[in-house]
């Protein structure tokens, strides 16, 4: 099924590239009867990911070995920024689950802090889509992974570059035209192709190997290597799902969902006068203070926490949920209950959160420069 879809999308790409009669230079640079040489790439998913909807791969940007290789090189490419000082990977470091651990707000090319905490990048192809706003960034500003990748390059607090400059820098680097040719059948660098390649690489960032993942496999009779949850972590999980206790699962998922979020945008009660959040996009008063519910996977690599990096530790996060909730008109109703967590229960809950750590993800050589 997936293979058929891929083949079909190659046909579409082939047709659309040959229809580019508005750009005769491109046509002249290619032999019209060039065979399509890209190698389809099928995502290798952990077995327990069968319990969720399949990854969404756009028909006009199928995964190919050549596209992913180009996207990886571009992800680590500092020429995407002013003065060639930052790459995507400067703020999304593979060793920190593609996050900038330790920074509350990311630092841009000019040394100025941005507005938000950088988001870790994994399992992006599984993000939910919404009819009236985007799926990406804390406030749902970006519709697709491709569209998202345009943003950081020109952002005045991030890479501070222009797309024409990026295109010309890449075009004049002898390494790139052959790679674009391999990936997209044209040596002409184009911003749309840059973001397509980067998005292909980003969709390969699958994280699904932790003690909590092993527990899902164990409970479903799927073979696993390494350990599943120990007694303390299991107690933590019971608090996580317990409606009278932590009750985290309404937003951050429940076995066998291996994503640890449902991706909905919510106000979890951080502030009495919250930041606009999703309302910045939808312009609805009812969306003020709503932010994307983040995954709880790989938290040991992504501190500090929340959209503004206000909490340094998981202890601070759990204390907030236990006794720091601030009410406001758009607060999610499940935040208003009293989460009576004893000191021992807090320790158990944190042990469970740490058990959703995928160490193989942050050391995977396929994701390193």
Name the site residues for ligand HEC (rule: CB under 6 A).
Answer: 80, 86, 88, 90-92, 106, 108, 114, 116, 118-119, 121, 124, 136-138, 145, 148-149, 152-153, 158-159, 198, 202, 246-248, 250-252, 266, 268, 270, 291-294, 296, 299, 302, 305-307, 317-318, 321, 332, 334-335, 339, 349
CB closer to ligand HEC, 17 vs 308: 308
Contact (CB, 8 A) for 265 and 275: no
CA angle 64, 67, 72 (to 5 degrees): 125
Report the alpha-carbon distance of residue 260 to residue 297 in Å, rounded.
6
**Minimum distance from residue 175 beta carbon to ligand HEC (Å):** 18
Report yes or no: 66 and 72 within 8 Å, Cβ to Cβ.
no
Cα–Cα distance, 286 to 278 (Å, whole number): 9
Whole-number Å distance between alpha carbons of 208 and 361: 8
Q: Which is nearer to ligand HEC, 155 or 187 (CB)?
A: 155
Closest CA to 209 of 361, 55, 365: 361
> Which lies closer to ligand HEC via its Cβ, residue 29 or residue 257?
257
Taking the least distance from each CB to ligand HEC, the nearer of 91 and 228 is 91
Nearer to ligand HEC, 18 or 141 (CB): 141
CB of 122 to ligand HEC, least distance (A): 9
The dihedral formed by the CA atoms of 248, 250, 255 and 258, expressed in degrees to the nearest 10? -90
Rounded Cα distance, 234 and 216, in Å: 12
We find the least distance from the C-beta atom of residue 331 to ligand HEC, in angstroms, to be 8
CB of 361 to ligand HEC, least distance (A): 15
- Distance of alpha carbon 364 from alpha carbon 247, whole angstroms: 33
- Cα separation, 14 vs 161, in Å, equals 31
Question: By C-alpha distance, which of 146, 143, 198, 148 is closest to 170?
Answer: 198
Cβ 98 to ligand HEC shortest distance, Å: 8
- Smaller CB separation from ligand HEC, 101 or 218: 101
C-beta of residue 265 within 8 angstroms of C-beta of residue 293: yes
Report the nearest approach of ligand HEC to the CB of residue 157 (Å): 7
Nearer of residues 29 and 280 to ligand HEC, judged by Cβ: 280
Nearer to ligand HEC, 26 or 241 (CB): 241
Nearer of residues 29 and 147 to ligand HEC, judged by Cβ: 147
CB of 21 to ligand HEC, least distance (A): 31
Least separation, in Å, of the C-beta of 60 and ligand HEC? 18
State the minimum distance, in angstroms, from the CB of residue 329 to ligand HEC.
15
CA distances from 166 to 25, 31, 111, 179, 228 (A): 20, 27, 20, 16, 46
């Amino acid at each position: 099924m997936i293979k058929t879809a891929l083949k079909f999308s190659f046909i579409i790409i082939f047709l659309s590239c040959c229809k580019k009669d508005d750009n005769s230079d491109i046509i002249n640079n290619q032999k019209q009867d060039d065979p399509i040489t890209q190698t389809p790439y099928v995502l290798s998913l952990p077995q327990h990911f069968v319990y969720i909807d399949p990854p969404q791969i756009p028909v006009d940007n199928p995964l190919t070995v050549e596209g992913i290789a180009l996207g990886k090189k571009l992800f680590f490419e500092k020429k995407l920024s002013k003065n060639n000082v930052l790459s995507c990977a400067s703020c999304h470091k593979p060793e920190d689950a593609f996050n900038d651990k330790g920074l509350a707000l990311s630092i841009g090319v000019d040394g100025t802090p941005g507005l938000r905490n950088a988001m870790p990048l994994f399992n992006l192809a599984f993000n939910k889509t919404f009819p009236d706003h985007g799926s990406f960034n804390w406030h749902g500003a970006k519709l697709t992974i491709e569209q998202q990748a345009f943003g950081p390059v020109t952002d005045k607090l991030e890479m501070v570059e222009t797309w024409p400059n990026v295109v010309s820098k890449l075009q004049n680097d002898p390494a790139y035209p052959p790679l674009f040719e391999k990936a997209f059948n044209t040596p002409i660098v184009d911003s749309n192709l840059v973001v397509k390649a980067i998005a292909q690489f980003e969709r390969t960032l699958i994280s699904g190997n932790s003690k909590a993942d092993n527990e899902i496999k164990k409970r479903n009779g799927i073979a696993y290597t390494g350990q599943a949850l120990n007694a303390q972590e299991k107690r933590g999980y019971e608090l996580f799902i317990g409606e009278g206790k932590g009750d985290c699962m309404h937003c951050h998922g429940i076995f066998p969902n291996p994503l640890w979020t449902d991706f909905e945008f919510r106000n979890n009660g951080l502030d009495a006068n919250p930041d606009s959040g999703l309302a910045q996009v939808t312009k609805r008063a009812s969306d003020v203070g709503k932010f994307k519910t983040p995954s709880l996977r790989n938290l040991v690599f992504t501190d500090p926490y929340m959209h503004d990096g206000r909490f340094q530790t998981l202890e601070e996060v759990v204390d907030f949920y236990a006794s720091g909730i601030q009410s406001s008109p758009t607060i999610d109703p499940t935040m208003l209950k009293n989460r009576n967590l004893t000191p021992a229960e807090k320790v158990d809950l944190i042990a469970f959160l740490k058990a959703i750590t995928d160490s193989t993800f942050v050391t995977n050589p396929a994701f390193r420069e």
